[in-house]
Each structure stands twice: as structure tokens, then as C-alpha cells.
Copies of this chain bind each other. A is one copy, B any other.
Amino acid sequence: MPMSVKGFSAAAVGAGIRYQHRLDLGLIYSDRPAVAAGVFTTNRVKAAPVLLDIERLRRGQAQAILVNSGNANACTGEQGMELARSVGQMAADRLGIDPELVQIASTGVIGEALDTGPFAEAMPELIASLSKDGFDDLAMAIMTTDTVPKVVRKTIDVVGVPVSILGVAKGSGMIMPDMATMLCFLITDARIVFPVLREIVTTGVENTFNRITVDGDTSTNDTVLVLANGAAGNPWLDEDSPAAVESFGRAVTEVFGKLATKIVADGEGATKAVTIQVKGARDKDGALAAARTIANSPLVKTAFFGQDPNWGRIMAALGRSDCFFHPDRVSIAFDDVPIVVEGTGLGPEAERKSAQVMQQDAFILTIDLHDGSGSGEIQTCDFSKEYIEINADYRS
């Protein structure tokens, strides 16, 4: 039986929000109000549930997360806000908690009014199904173009007390998150103060999920929510316990990172997971900008798919990034096979060996700019014919 997180339960049901016969409505519940922090899409167009969550998270607390797939409740105006409040109220009423403690997340098609009927009808069963083992079902309920559910569990020791962490995520459209919104819910029974949790969540997301979301591409609904209910009873994680905080922060980031990797591996139509490592840049921001531009180049991605070590495309993408560098200092390698040194190619034999590296399911592309000590890493995947197929008729 999988590890449980004290005080937390979850459930999912098929409410028929868009399709019949699939789980599409989920709930996470804590038996007591939890300290809560979130990170949301930076897109100027924010879906109603995102706007509602941001507003409600000002108090730094939450007790439940209601999540649906099939309808993103985005671009639905003031009516969308009312509908989000309304389904949250249904859950709050049945759970007997303050509606302000209910966070909402939605994923699916943009621009269609949310029909609250299926929510109302399914709510009794949903709440009756709450169980500490309900998270695998919940992970299924939030899938859209994902091919596998994504759950990561971890237990750590906080000053002699075992603390559990569980994360679920979705988002197979990582190549360009869109309707395939990225969602992540992480729950823990750790006892932690709000500002410390918020800092861990913000930094952790920056170093994990934001290293797979390429080129600022965001959906209207991207959401990471973290609830810590304190049920483990560990000594408070606060500003006075830096060592314990650091160790807990590392654990949270590790769970984020594993979920992020699962998202890349499940990229729409992806056949390869590629890590783009840029080093030797003047600073970290430059390195990350360069890695993002390369990771996001359709021409580089199609070359990955074709197993073609087309380093000219990599140089060209690098050259249009915001990163400063000297073209004649650049070296490029696929795993440990160098293909470019001092800006010039090493020839057919190096290309043949690099092409062999590219036949693997996963490999590392390293670009060394030899211009400083800044480095950054972005995970991406290739761009296949299947990506076009998936996205040319997503809605049909």
C-alpha cells in the first residue's frame, strides 16, 4: 500500500464534464486547514480558477483543492469567476469548511462556460470516495493529452520526525504548454510557517518546472499548489531551523523535479528526452536564455526527431538568443561526443558518433561558451510528426 500523508485524502469520479466514462473531477482534502502557497501562470490571460486561487491564497491557507479536466474555465469573464466560486461552494458546503479555503484548478478547452450541473451531481459521490489512497485516481482525473498519470512520493526525517510528501502533476503538452496546462499539487504533513513554505515553493518551481517550460510559453491555467497541514507534528520548520528547512526544501524540489521529468518524458508525441546544458556563459540568466532558445527551436527539435546532429541549427538558435558569446569560442557535444570546438565542426566522423548518441531515448546536449562561469539547464523533447497530429485536431 502506498505511503499516505497524514490528514490528507483524495478522490476522483467521472462527472461527465466533457467526455463520459473517464475520471474528470478530483478532490484533495486536509482534515485541518493547511498552510498553502502557489505559483501560477504568468500569462496575461489567466483563467477564472487561477484568479480565484490567487485571491484566496492571500491568507496563506487552504484545506481543499477541487480540480476538473475537460473545461479550463478560461476566457469566460466574470461569469467564469462566479462558476468557479459556485463549484467551490458546493465542495465547501458538503465538506463543512469555509469556501475561502477551497482552491480550484481546471484544465481542458478554453472559452466554454463551465456547466455546474455535472459538479453538483457528482459532488456527493466525490466526497464519499475521499480516501488516503485516492491520489492515483486523482492523477488520472487531471490527465488530458497525458499518456500516463504522474505521482511522486517521498518521506524524509525532520528533526527525528517522519514527514511525508506527495505530488501529482499533469501536462504532456510541455513542448508548448497550452490546453495541456501544467498542473501540480503537492501535499505534505510537515509543520511549516507560511513565508518559509512560500520561498521553498517559489524557488523549487523556478528550478524544476520553469526549466521545462520553454520560452515563456504558458497556458492560461498553469498552477502549482502546495498544502502543508502540520499533521506530522515535527518541530516547526521556520526561520530558526535553517538546516531542517534546507533539507525539507531539497525534498520538495526533488519531488517537483521528478514530476517535471515525467512531464518531459510524456511530451506530446515526444520520442526523446533531451537535456540542454549551457555553460561558460557570462551569467546564469544568459545561459538559461540560450538553453531555452535552443530547447524551443522547432528546427533543433525536428533535428532531434530525425537523429541529425545538425549543429548549425544549434549555433543559429544560440545566435538569436539573448545570451552574449563569441562564436569562435563555442564548443558543442552530444553526451561526451564533441562535435564543435572553437566554433567549427569536427567533421563527418564526429557527426556519425553524435548521430549514434541521438539514437538513445535520452541524451545531453552540452554547449560551452567559454566566456564565463554562468550555467543553466533546460529539459526538452523532440518535435515529431505525432506532435502535429495531436495538435492539429486537439478539439475534435
* Residues of A participating in the B interface, judged by any CB pair closer than 8 Å: 42-46, 72, 74-77, 109-112, 175-176, 178-179, 216-220, 297-299, 302-303, 305-306, 308, 310-313, 315-316, 318-320, 324-325, 327-328, 340, 342-345, 383-385, 387-389, 391-396
What does DSSP make chain A's interface, helix, strand, loop or mixed? loop
Are B312 and A72 closer than 8 Å at their CB atoms? yes
* With A176-B298, A297-B176, A385-B388: A315-B393 Cβ-Cβ less than 8 Å: no
Q: Name the B residues within 8 Å of A43 (CB-CB).
A: 316, 319-320
A315 partner residues in chain B, CB cutoff 8 A:
45, 74-75, 110-111, 220
The answer to whether B75 touches A110, judged by C-beta atoms less than 8 angstroms apart, is no
CB-CB under 8 A from A312, the residues of chain B are 72, 74-75, 109-111, 178-179, 220
What are 28 of the A-B contact pairs (CB < 8 Å)? A43-B316, A44-B318, A45-B315, A45-B327, A72-B312, A75-B327, A75-B340, A75-B344, A77-B342, A77-B343, A110-B312, A111-B340, A178-B316, A179-B312, A216-B320, A218-B320, A220-B319, A298-B387, A302-B387, A303-B392, A305-B388, A306-B394, A308-B392, A308-B396, A383-B388, A385-B385, A385-B388, A388-B388
Interchain CB contact under 8 A, B308 and A393: yes
Tell me how many chains of this kind the complex includes: 2
State the Cβ distance, A350 to closest chain B Cβ, in Å: 11
Contacts of A392 in B (CB 8 A): 302-303, 305-306, 308
Which residue, of A109, A217, A299, has the highest number of chain B Cβ atoms within 10 A? A299
Q: Determine if B44 and A327 form an interchain contact, defined as CB atoms under 8 angstroms apart.
A: yes
**Residue in B closest to A77 when the chains form the complex, CB atoms:** B344
> Please, how many angstroms separate the alpha-carbon atoms of A9 and B385 in the complex?
44
- Give which listed residue, B176, B302, B316, contacts A219 with CB less than 8 A: B316
Which 6 residue pairs across A and B have the least CB separation, nearest first?
A110-B312, A306-B392, A45-B319, A302-B391, A43-B319, A111-B345
A318 contacts across to B, CB distance below 8 A: 44-45
A298-B176, A344-B77 known; A385 and B389 CB under 8 Å?
yes
Instruction: Please pick, from B303, B384, B391, the residue contacting A299 in the complex, using a CB distance under 8 A.
Output: B391
Task: Tell me if A345 and B112 are in contact (CB < 8 A).
Answer: yes
CA A297 to CA B298, docked complex, whole Å? 10
- How far apart sit A198 and B395, CA to CA, in the bound complex (Å)? 49
| Contact call B395/A316, Cβ cutoff below 8 A | no
Contact partner of A313 (CB less than 8 A), chosen from B46, B178, B344, is B178
Residues of B within 8 A of A342 (CB): 77
> Which residues of chain B are near A44, meaning CB under 8 Å?
318-320, 324-325, 327
Contacts A44-B325, A75-B312, A306-B396 known; 12 new A-B pairs at CB < 8 A: A44-B320, A44-B327, A75-B343, A110-B315, A111-B345, A179-B312, A303-B391, A303-B394, A306-B394, A308-B393, A308-B394, A387-B388
Residue of A76, A175, A318, A388 ringed by the most chain B CB atoms within 10 A: A388
Residue of chain B at shortest CB distance from A345: B111
Chain B residue nearest in CB terms to A79: B344
Selected contact of A218 from candidates B319, B340, B343, CB within 8 Å: B319
Residues A75 and B345 in contact in the complex (CB < 8 Å), given A218-B319, A302-B388: yes
